[in-house]
Structure 1
Amino acid sequence: MKNGRLVRIYLLLIVVVCTFGGVLFWGIYQQTQNNVVNELKLESNNLINQLTKQLSLAFIEVHSDLLYIIEQKELRELAIANTKQSAVRNIQESWKSLALQRKRYDQIRFLDINGQEQVRINYHKGNPVVVNKKDLQSKKYRYYFTESINKLPGTIYSSPLDLNVEKQQIELPLKPTIRFASPVTDRNGNTIGAVILNYLAENILNKFRRISAGYSGDAILLNWQGYTLLSPESAQDWGFMFPDSPQTGINVEHTDVWKSIQKLHRGQKINTHGLYTFDSIHPSGELIDNFCASCLRVLLHVPKELIDARIWRQLANTVKFLGATLTVMLIVLAIAIWNREKQKVNEQQIQRLNKKISNEHELFLSGPSIIAKLRNELGWPVEFISTNVYELLGYETDNFTSGKLSFSNIIDPEYLQHFSQENVQADQDRVTEFKRSPYKIIDHSRQHKWVQDTTHIIRDELGRLTHFFVHISDITHLKQIEEQLTESHNYIQRVVDAIADPTLVIDINNHQLQLVNKSALNLYTNDKQLKKSMTCYRLSHKRNTPCSGKHDPCPIAEIQKTKKAVSVVHKHYDNEGRVMHVDVRATPIFDESGEHLVQIIESHRDITDTINMEKQLLHIAETDRLTQIYNRTKFDEELKNQIAWAGLTNNYFGLIMLDLDHFKKVNDNHGHDVGDRVLKTTVELLHKRIRKSDILARWGGEEFMIITPQIQQDDLLSMVESLRTAIEEIKHPKVGAVTASFGASMLTPNDNIKSLLKRVDMALYRSKNSGRNRCTIL
């Protein structure tokens, strides 16, 4: 072979592989991009559903309060001329109680039909007060009065979310407010005024911040004009309330997205600036239209830069793997081309051999056949037989027609009874023809040959069977091939049995096992042979349905999707019902065309010890070696989870930090062994005294932390005092009593890990500075 030709082939190979690599990388990039965008779409949809649900729930609570107020009997009789002053006081006290209980209404007012305030309650920083009659004002020309007084009874008007204005000045500190109003009617159904609730919207803004805190992008709350009410860029919030400040908003910076929001109200849009997910909500609960001045818009924006960064993070390892794979592919193909050139001469010999085999195959298919007519008598005498009987069996036709030989004389005695039974059965079934089972005949040289015949039944006028007309074909060659196939199958079985790992060959259409090795039989069953129609899931999982789901994926389903080998981890059961973790590696088997999947071959590797070791290592990583409770790393993880869970469910918890007083003296005076026993005894006591739901961890040295879910502050104080007393009463060997100082606090809505730990640490510090052996709750 010439070197120049080989170089040209190699250069062409490099170009092809590089082109293939580029196309493959582009496909992987597109798939990764689709996956990342779909993940972000799903995350955004889940978050926006949660945000709108929480906002709706908050507004429904306001609706409930408002409808309750307008149905008060004293209020509906307030327009009667002789209404007693006591009825007014009852209304005032009732509304003060409601304001104090709800803690979300800055003002509760009743305006009469002329817009004059008749009753007004100011929240006054948590101390509701009744406004004196002389300070009541006329709101006759305020938009919220004119809008609400003309609404139907029982309906609710809501104002846009904006900043509260007092005496034509924006109130400081800023007080975001929504005004909810509904008309009040007397007993005759006549409108006598309206009730106005000034809702402190900071409640929903805080909830909005808390729920969206972990979002990948930006969570933004807009008004109906597209200006920001709440966004990561807080300097731009409420800009529309200050005419002198720059007027920025989604309607200015992202006009195409704003048009989609106005048109669709809810949906998703992706463009060159990133992914936008939006939804709209009407505080009054009414349907949303294009002229809804009080509607709120929730917008989630994932910038294009963030999407690209996530895509390339996922592609980092793929690029390395693809480069290594293409390099290996190039080397393998180069070696294959070299071997191909060397084997050209051998290929010519193989072609000649294939042609010879093909000729023999055609000769076999067109082989000789014998036609004979037999009487239905003892021995089946032959009335006629074709002349080619001599070529096949070496007998002259005269030997049969003269009666010297009957057909039974040439049938192997081992098959005579079965031959006769098939004739009797055909007569009973009244068939006209049938295909007989293969049997052996004896030729003139006493050699045995395999034949198979098609037999036609001949009957007389009375329906009695008189003759058989048989067409006999020599299938000796087929039987030899069948024996070879059986031998090959047995050889394959022996090869598979030699594999140490349990190995299965599975039909993808019905999950039935086509082949299993002894290792699989011994592991999963007590049988010596595979039962008929046994399925893979019945053998290894002891179940009646195929594997499915995230934790038990079906390898067949995965291969049908990808047409590639897969590896999954399953939980199997051995022949004694013991659970074992198995690494299942499945490889596809295609038909001759290489396109259609027909079977898969699975190998099972027992990784139970590895799984158990991972669990042990995880236990070691998160457990304090001395006390066998959570260490600081695991505590940080649990605290983070508890804060996240509290943000979603509004179920707050308490955090306790305790420190053994003067513990250094115990180690200095009695040694670290004694100090270790004191720590263990203290931990045993704490375990007995705290609840099962509480989480105990060693913070460091002689400091411990306790997370107490779903507890009130009074119960938290009682629990801390109980623990302090119990620790003080222990008499440690050689040491005696050892006291402890405690600091504790309840999680607040605005807390994060840092702020909560700082407050608990400050509480512990106060306990120590106040003389130790005491508890402080902040």
Structure 2
Amino acid sequence: MTQHNFKKYFIVYFIIFGILISLFGAFSSYIIRMGDIEKTIDTKAQDIFEIKTQTILKPTIENMDDIVNSLKENELVKDFILTKSVDKQKRVEELFVALMGIENRIMQTRIIDKDGKELVRVDRKNQKSKPFIVENSKLQDKSNRDYFQTLSKMPKDSVWHSKLDLNIENNKIEIPYNPTIRVAAPLFEESKFIGVAIVNILTQELFNSIGTSSSFTHYIIDKDRNFILHPDETYSFNKYKDIKRELKEDFPNGLNAQGVYVYPIDNILKNEDKAMLVLKTSDTYEEILKDEMTKTSIIVLLLTIILSFITSFYISKTPAKLQTSLLNAHKKLKEYTSIIDRYIITATTKTDSTIINVSSAFINSSGYSKDELIGQKMSIIKNPNRDKATIKDLWETILSKKTWIGEIKNRKKDATEYWLEQHIVPQINEHDNIESFVSIGIDITAKKELEKLATIDKLTGIYNRRRFEEFLQIEMEVAKRHSQPLSLILVDIDHFKSVNDTYGHQVGDMVLSQTTKIISQNLRKSDIFGRWGGEEFVVICPQTNKSEAFVLAEKLRAAMEEHEFEKVGHKTICLGIAELEHDDNEKTLVEKADKALYEAKNGGRNKSVIFA
């Protein structure tokens, strides 16, 4: 046999040997994987439980706990309960309407006094409807309700969860059915019980989210074996509907049977239900698993046969070992890729920001389809009100091959705004050149909305005093550091009290809102405008001396004097101007502007005065 023939013989021999090993490995793998079906189902059930509870149920309940705790500590709410002031009641009602406008899962928000009487209640009919204030005449006495009796005896730092039930109004179950849970907390003033804050949460959408999966039938059962959630809506809340449903009708072999998984959720829903999430393997899931494993084994077999042709020339390890490595790598890659795609907002772009790939989470957050995104620039989600300095910093950072971390305001396909906290990472090739960029984001829209509520005056829409004082401190530091001028203008509406006394607070609010608009329209882009309190406003004028600020003040005064308010007619304003000096702090600068304002008032009003 020639050397050439000898070589051909061994090549053929190793190819045949590789094919035989591949067949044996694939068959062995198939037998083992078939034996692992039960373990696969166990793991799948645990994964679904973790997803449904840790990413859906727990964050929802914790969010509502936080809302109730914030109401419990709210000074306006406490003052209203103690004083029962009509003005404070209106402000509390506005607070509740704003809260429910942001969080549409809240069906009802209430304050009950220590005697069990409702003081304020804001309702909504369903998740899509607007919240409305319930008239005082329709407020109810809840002193005999069990939950009030329980809450009135709870310690100061407690949060109470009701049973999962159907909403009851006037002692009757509301129809159509509204599944709900109440989250409440007792209110105290100096260790004395003064009332209760209660939030009713619509749970239908929550149930829809945690109540289905393709692999299992989902149930929620209470400690008395009543169905809270059932795949047949007829039997959900069967206790409250007075419909009898035996557990054995759905679980003939009990809850300990194979393919049935029971998970307590009373560590999240801390109520008397002692609820359990029960997952029952669907009839078709096991067959689907077998089909998938068969298909996978066939694919693996074909791959290993192909590999056997290549590795026959360099064989050093058995095909079975290669097959095992391939299967493990394929499984891990598939798991990680699926998780990242579904839950992480990611996008990959070219260096010119052309999108080349996006995750499903990115598609969901932007509202665009994948086809609409691929090939477009990232500017497709650009918000026209983005901070230019932030974008400049972003590009400077990533083009220097560093990771940029920050917050960016974007715009969805339907033009609604949303915020992402983003990590943008340059991808460097072997030649040390930037090849692409990978963006990893977290949706922080809800967080930004709460921040906005905490910094904006609700009536006028401009900065409130707390946020304004933060700006004043920053601008004063900048002015002193760079030896730049800075002036402060304090504005007061002349004889504003007479407006409220003569025309009422609604007209007074209208005057405040229109005054805000007049001043805003006449300010420069660099000026910072806020409400100081009552009918007083304040303007920071960066890089502006007192003479220049006086010119601006006179412009504002004239614009106000020319405007004619509905019902009220013409109104005027006084303006006090003070310029920052080296030894000034926030308090002294405001005091100087206030003294100038006082001088303008005593000088006949409708004046601008510079502090001398």
TM-score range, shorter-chain basis?
0.3 to 0.5
Larger Cα Rg: Structure 1 or Structure 2?
1
Higher RCO (C-alpha 8 Å, min separation 6): 2
TM-score (norm 2): 0.46
